[in-house]
């Protein structure tokens, strides 16, 4: 059963689903036909902030309360959200999830530095990355600065990709391949 509902505002909601709302099934207890579900509704297309120069990570909601690493931001993001990264060098291997946007302060100012093993950055479908130098992949055959997920169509713009085994890899492992 599919139900469409648009919440009236941001907040916490409890939604009840009834399996037998008209009591057509004869049972001793009708209570097992009701399922409550609690969930939160938040704003869409939020911007999260990352700055390697902060002393300790905050909640990422403002430049003043930025996360310290890019990887810390992803669990808080949803499809359509952006992660705005301040200038600096970020020593991490990361994945840009489906539908998220990673925005650096410019390729001459913001670097994602891999650890010399594997791929430095994985990117999913409908995701984007812009404004970084991406470097430091491993030196094995399939290691890359950027690895595009199978059948994904990300947007990769205004980046400098250097000192990697390969710059960008997009390989289709699961046919049919369309991108």
The answer to whether residue 46 scores a pLDDT higher than 80 is yes
Q: pTM (2 decimals)?
A: 0.82
Tell whether the model's pLDDT for residue 23 goes beyond 90.
Answer: no
pLDDT digits (tens, 9 = 90+) for 58-108: 999 999 999 999 999 999 999 999 999 999 999 999 999 999 999 999 999
List Cβ neighbours of 110 (8 Å cut-off, separation of 6 or more): 85, 86, 87, 88, 90, 104, 131, 132, 133
Contact between residue 70 and residue 50 where contact means Cβ atoms under 8 Å apart: yes
pLDDT value, residue 35? 74
**Please, which pLDDT band fits residue 151 given cuts at 50, 70 and 90?**
confident
Burial, 72: exposed, middle or buried (Cβ in 10 Å; 0-12, 13-18, 19+)? middle
Q: Roughly how many angstroms between the first and final C-alpha of the chain, as a whole number? A: 33
How many CB atoms are located within 10 Å of the residue 172 CB?
13
Separation CA 99–CA 5 (nearest Å): 22
Indicate the pLDDT class of residue 6, thresholds 50, 70 and 90.
Answer: confident
């Amino acid at each position: 059963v599919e139900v469409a509902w648009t919440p009236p505002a941001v907040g916490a909601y409890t939604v009840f689903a009834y399996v037998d709302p008209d009591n057509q099934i004869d049972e001793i207890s009708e209570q097992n036909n009701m399922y409550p579900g609690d969930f939160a509704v938040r704003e869409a297309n939020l911007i999260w902030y990352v700055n390697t120069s902060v002393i300790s990570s905050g909640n990422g909601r403002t430049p003043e309360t930025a996360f310290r690493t890019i990887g810390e931001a992803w669990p808080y993001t949803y499809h359509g959200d952006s992660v705005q990264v301040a200038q600096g060098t970020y020593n991490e291997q990361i994945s840009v999830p489906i539908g998220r946007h990673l925005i650096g302060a410019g390729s001459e100012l913001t670097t994602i530095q891999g650890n010399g093993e594997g791929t430095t950055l994985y990117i999913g479908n409908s995701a984007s990355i812009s404004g970084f130098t991406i470097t430091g992949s491993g030196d094995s055959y399939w290691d890359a600065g950027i690895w595009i997920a199978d059948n994904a169509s990300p947007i990769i713009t205004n980046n400098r990709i250097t000192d990697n085994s390969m710059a960008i890899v997009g390989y289709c492992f699961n046919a049919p391949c369309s991108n």
